[in-house]
Structure 1
Amino acid sequence: MKNTIFRKKSVDQLLHQHGKVQLNKTLGAFDLMLLGVGAIVGTGIFILPGTVAAEHAGPGIIFSFILAAIVCAFAAMCYSEFSSSIPVTGSAYTYSYVVFGEIIAWIVGWSLILEYGLAVAAVATGWSAYLNSLLAGLNIHIPKAVSGSFDPANGTFVNLPAIIIIFILAFLLTKGVKESTKLNTVMVGLKVLVILLFIVVGVFYVEPTNWKPFTPFGTSGILSGAALVFFAYLGFDAVSSAAEEVKNPQRNMPIGIIGSLLICTVLYVAVSLVLTGMVPYTDLNVSNPVSFAMQLVHQDWVSGIISLGAVIGMMTVILVMLYGSTRLTYAFSRDGLLPKVMSEVDAKHQTPKKNTWITSTLISFCAGFVPLDKLTELVNMGTLLAFTVVSIGVILLRKNKEISTDGFKVPLYPIIPIISFVLCIFLMTQLSIHTIIFCGIWIVIGLIIYFIYGKKHSLLNK
């Protein structure tokens, strides 16, 4: 079993492997819920509703959001059972190591690196667009050449604001997770207030005629819309990456994961209803639909506040997804599958400082040079693959006699895990063939790295 690619880790090994390499337990249920809302509410509420409503679902985008939320809710319950049973950093990668073995764990983890890394890059790119809009309103203009991804025909060469914000938040993460969550709490509070402001003011400008027809693209539009707005829910799985730094994970992990998902679904549906009621869906294909809608009804002061809220709100998404990315590569390294430098913990701040800077540098390259639309679909594929494995993995987890029975358990077992698995596979089929091909190439690259380095250096060899 020692040299096989399907060798597994026992739960006892995971819970007692740390030795000197250990992260501080500082997070409670409320911290986790705010981490989740911080990661989820961003691009999904400030950018996606416009393009998806205009091109795919019309006002029926609310059904797309609800369908995507249902898929995520089933997956969230599976994540909650895993994270309360195996409270170790690494998210779906670590869970797969226990129930499927090393090679499947590597593929899942490698897919999650694609998810977290490109999600940070995508949101940083969207953040840059809102920052440019906000500064333009103050009559401050960033030179065009350094304000967009590489596109010489359009006169843009590098997205400098996107690169800078990633490095600023990386610096914050190196100072400690508790310090990062304090700032996250403030920014999430401001972000939710801005969203509520839009809903309260916007509801007075809703014209019910804008909701007719409610589903102009039919069922197929709602389904393809669901596959795209799935991007809006990314982040709750990053909460499970914090498991090792949580006080009482058996209780707090499920509250954090499921609670943040419920809050965000209510906000998404409310914003989408008001947005498509204020503006005909055909006019919403813009990069800043929420502030654009307020400009149309001459509420420029609200539009300015929303732009500021979007700039603050997207920073929390970058912060939490970057956190998830660094903790994942930390788990890889601690297991011997990546070089040791990625799991070195800074003595003063108890954070993987070198890992954070290496990861942030690679992600900032994508944020600086790759267009937003190319990034979002790729993120969804990596996530759905991880969700699929976690959903079916719960069935194998229940059969593992090592696991404590004290934590959260998925209700209606095994029906919910099976439904979650089927829905994730279905949403995968709604993505473009180019996305599927690129994801396949990414996995092949990952397998090459595993067989050249990871298999040989894995701690399970010892």
Structure 2
Amino acid sequence: MQLFHVQLCQPCLLGLERVSNHWVCRTFNWGVWGRQIMRHYGPEDLVGIVLTPKDTESDGLERKIGLFSVIIISLSAMIGSGLFVLPALAMLELGGGDIPLGGVWLAYLVAAVLVIPGAVSKSELSTAMPTSGGSYVYVQKTFGPLIGTVAGLGLWANFMLKSAFALIGFKAYLWVIEDLLGMDIDIEAAAILLLAIIVGINILGVKKIKKVQIPIVIFSAAYLFALCVYAIAYHDLDWSAVSSKDSFGSWEDVAATSAFVFVSYAGVTKIAAVGGEVKNPERNLPYGILLSLLFSCLLYVLVTMVMAAAVSPSEYMHGEHGASEDPIYIFAEAVGGETVGKIAAILAVVTMTSMALAGILASSRFPFAMSRDNLLPPFLESVHQRFGTPHWAIIGTGVAMGLAITFLPVHDVAELASGFKIMIFMLINGCVIVLRTSSDSHTWYDPQWKTPWPLYPAVQLFGIFGGGALLYLMGSKSLVGASAAIVLGLIIYNGYGRSRVDAQITPWETVRLMLTNSNEAERKRLFAAFYDADAEGDGQLDLDQFVSAFKALGYIEGGGPNIPDDAIVLSKTRNRRGDQLIGDVFGKGDTDKDGLISIEEFLDVAREIEPEG
């Protein structure tokens, strides 16, 4: 006959029940929470619960990026295809695919509004986790390594494909350079050559990238702004083409076009992927992200509005072949003549190359961060001794881009990946809600910049439901890229990462438990506080450790620099209204009078001094 050795819990015996192959004690919980299974947890069951904030670990990359550079890198990831390729395509989309309409600026404005929640949420997350990997890190730490792997690989593929598209997306402008050189240029060969140069610049480090991007972004933005000002000042613009009711189509067309141009703003949060290289991240990341979103929105709206007012939307079409992919040249040539148009075309090639440069910078940090978390092979987290960059992650990303340019229909694949990017924006908004809700059990989440209180959680919920609406409007094609990312992530995680990561309680698991069994979530905190304070590991706490444990739980606060811990006064708890000294509480809780508190005694005391609310 099999014997079961049962240790009955205190303070009362209310019967036994068999669960799986174990006997457990059933007892009443505190207050009116009712009967339920009570279990003891060991330290190994509580990995992931952190009650005492810890310093953020460095990822080994030097912090060299200031606020101005944050804005420039973020803008360089946006001022590319979003302005030089998409406007004419968006005009046609706004007209239902049949007639181009000039109210496309409204779609860019709506898309910016829908990006705001993601930008605000990522601004908050980036100050709590200012490390390389950006969105992957936030998702992985919130939802665990499985979803983190899916997000990390999906983001890497998304950024990589967008960067590859930037290198071949300027082909519509390439004829200008061909005319200047007097020779034909193979677009794929030119893209591979530029890719090799970009990979080399990335390996040399962020300082070299800044030296390249700053003049490109400033000159590009200034040139487009000057074109708009000149057109407004010296040309007779047809403002009805961009402001009349007929210029917008139906609200469904505006919404669908907003979903189409949403990816133009994806780069606004790309800088978070290199958060481990940003100086003063608690200031520079949120301000950089939000300022770059504001500036890019103003530039998109101004340029697309003046484009359609200066040149009839029908002029951006190529007869039966659909929308032109060189709309900036058409606009610039109409406003300033052939030379101005050619300068704009050259600028398009240079700017989109700069976009690819920023793309590799950001995308290479995903495999670097995933390798650091043991989800990818360790060589990918190697940092070059001389240049201080993750060179193998950069080279691997460059090789993948080269293969994509050579063998894949990059334009089509990049567009399919847009749906996954919207899903990540929704998930990022969810991260903030989950981490805020579970922060009592995961105190490492301590952002230095938070979503302003009147906006939280409304702005995050708006981002989640707004993103869902965009996915609905995109239709089934929005699921293609997401499905591919999920399948790839599951294969990599189950084939490599799963056996190499340690299981731990995630904030998402804590929130689920809080919603289904809040009492058990609090019990886990109690056990975690006890084990954290039990420095000797002997299962008992002295007075100092006892006080430390309840401070970590937030049940009590320090009495001040000149007040000893045992003199701290508890004035009001759930079960008592009168004042009591913590030293007296310790003495009463020490039922066997050995001067130490066991875990059972600790749980009993916690029941008595639990704060109200």
Which of 182, 185, 197 is residue 140 of structure 1 equivalent to?
182
Matched, 1:422 2:484: no
Name the residue aligned to 2:359.
321
Name the residue aligned to 1:126.
169
Runs of 4+ in 1 over 4 A off after TM superposition: 7-14
Deviation, 1:379, is 3.2
Name the residue aligned to 1:152.
none
Q: Are 1:377 and 1:431, in contact at CA under 8 Å, matched by a contact in 2? A: no
Name the residue aligned to 1:182.
211
Name the residue aligned to 2:281.
249
Matched, 1:44 2:82: yes
Q: Which amino acid aligns with 2:379?
A: V
Pick closer, same or farther for the CA change 1:409–1:294 going to 2, 3 Å: same
Deviation, 1:187, is 1.4
Matched, 1:355 2:402: no
Name the residue aligned to 2:64.
26
Matched, 1:375 2:406: no
Deviation, 1:49, is 0.6
Deviation, 1:297, is 5.1
Deviation, 1:278, is 1.8
Q: Of the two structures, which has the highest relative contact order with CA contacts closer than 8 Å and spacing of 6 or more?
A: 1
CA distance in 2, matches of 1:363, 1:445: 17
Instruction: Determine helix, strand or coil for the equivalent of 2:480.
Output: helix
Q: Are 2:375 and 2:496, in contact at CA under 8 Å, matched by a contact in 1? A: yes
Deviation, 1:381, is 1.4
Matched, 1:441 2:492: no
Name the residue aligned to 2:35.
none
Name the residue aligned to 1:192.
221
CA distance in 1, matches of 2:502, 2:330: 53
Pick closer, same or farther for the CA change 1:33–1:171 going to 2, 3 Å: same
Deviation, 1:314, is 1.2
CA distance in 2, matches of 1:309, 1:117: 22
Q: Are 1:50 and 1:289, in contact at CA under 8 Å, matched by a contact in 2? A: yes
Note the alpha carbon deviations across 1:214-236, whole angstroms, 9 max, x for none.
43531111111111111211212
What TM-score, normalized by structure 2, do the two folds share? 0.68
Deviation, 1:369, is 4.0
CA distance in 2, matches of 1:9, 1:98: 12
Which of 80, 95, 120 is residue 123 of structure 2 equivalent to?
80
CA distance in 1, matches of 2:395, 2:55: 26
Name the residue aligned to 2:264.
232
Q: Which of 321-330 and 364-373 deviates more?
A: 364-373
Q: Which amino acid aligns with 2:294?
A: L
Matching of residues 254-333 of structure 1 within 5 Å: 254-284=286-316, 285-296=323-334, 299-333=337-371
Instruction: Determine helix, strand or coil for the equivalent of 1:24.
Output: coil
CA distance in 1, matches of 2:477, 2:483: 10
Which of 495, 498, 518 is residue 452 of structure 1 equivalent to?
495
Instruction: Determine helix, strand or coil for the equivalent of 2:351.
Output: helix
Name the residue aligned to 1:59.
102
The alignment-based identity, stated in percent, is 25
Q: Which amino acid aligns with 1:142?
A: D
In our comparison, the structure showing a higher alpha carbon Rg is 2
Instruction: Determine helix, strand or coil for the equivalent of 1:75.
Output: helix
Q: Which amino acid aligns with 2:348?
A: A
Matched, 1:114 2:154: no
Note the alpha carbon deviations across 1:91-150, whole angstroms, 9 max, x for none.
1111112222111212221221222111101111113432x132134263325xx33xxx
Name the residue aligned to 1:409.
450
Larger helix proportion of the pair: 1
Which of 215, 226, 239 is residue 208 of structure 1 equivalent to?
239
Gaps of 5+ in 2: 1-40, 96-100, 317-322, 505-613
Matching of residues 155-170 of structure 1 within 5 Å: 159-170=188-199
CA distance in 2, matches of 1:321, 1:123: 9
Deviation, 1:405, is 4.5
Q: Are 1:111 and 1:386, in contact at CA under 8 Å, matched by a contact in 2? A: no
CA distance in 2, matches of 1:94, 1:404: 12
Pick closer, same or farther for the CA change 1:122–1:13 going to 2, 3 Å: farther
Q: Which of 201-210 and 408-417 deviates more?
A: 201-210
Matching of residues 384-395 of structure 1 within 5 Å: 384-395=422-433
Name the residue aligned to 1:171.
200
Instruction: Determine helix, strand or coil for the equivalent of 2:295.
Output: helix
Note the alpha carbon deviations across 1:181-206, whole angstroms, 9 max, x for none.
22211211121122113212333332
Deviation, 1:253, is 0.7
Q: Which of 345-354 and 451-460 deviates more?
A: 451-460
Q: Are 2:269 and 2:289, in contact at CA under 8 Å, matched by a contact in 1? A: yes
Q: Are 1:194 and 1:305, in contact at CA under 8 Å, matched by a contact in 2? A: no
CA distance in 2, matches of 1:22, 1:423: 37
Q: Which amino acid aligns with 2:427?
A: V
Pick closer, same or farther for the CA change 1:250–1:376 going to 2, 3 Å: same
Q: CA RMSD in A?
A: 2.5
Q: Are 1:99 and 1:393, in contact at CA under 8 Å, matched by a contact in 2? A: yes
Pick closer, same or farther for the CA change 1:276–1:370 going to 2, 3 Å: farther
Q: Which amino acid aligns with 2:226?
A: L
Note the alpha carbon deviations across 1:331-387, whole angstroms, 9 max, x for none.
011111111121111111111112211111111222334345403422321211111
CA distance in 2, matches of 1:446, 1:244: 24
Instruction: Determine helix, strand or coil for the equivalent of 1:429.
Output: helix
Q: Which amino acid aligns with 1:160?
A: A
Q: Are 1:119 and 1:375, in contact at CA under 8 Å, matched by a contact in 2? A: no
What TM-score, normalized by structure 1, do the two folds share? 0.89
Deviation, 1:252, is 1.0
How many aligned positions are there? 442
Name the residue aligned to 2:249.
217
Q: Are 1:338 and 1:454, in contact at CA under 8 Å, matched by a contact in 2? A: yes
CA distance in 2, matches of 1:13, 1:163: 45
Name the residue aligned to 2:132.
89
Q: Are 1:80 and 1:254, in contact at CA under 8 Å, matched by a contact in 2? A: yes
Matched, 1:346 2:388: no
Name the residue aligned to 2:571.
none
Name the residue aligned to 2:142.
99
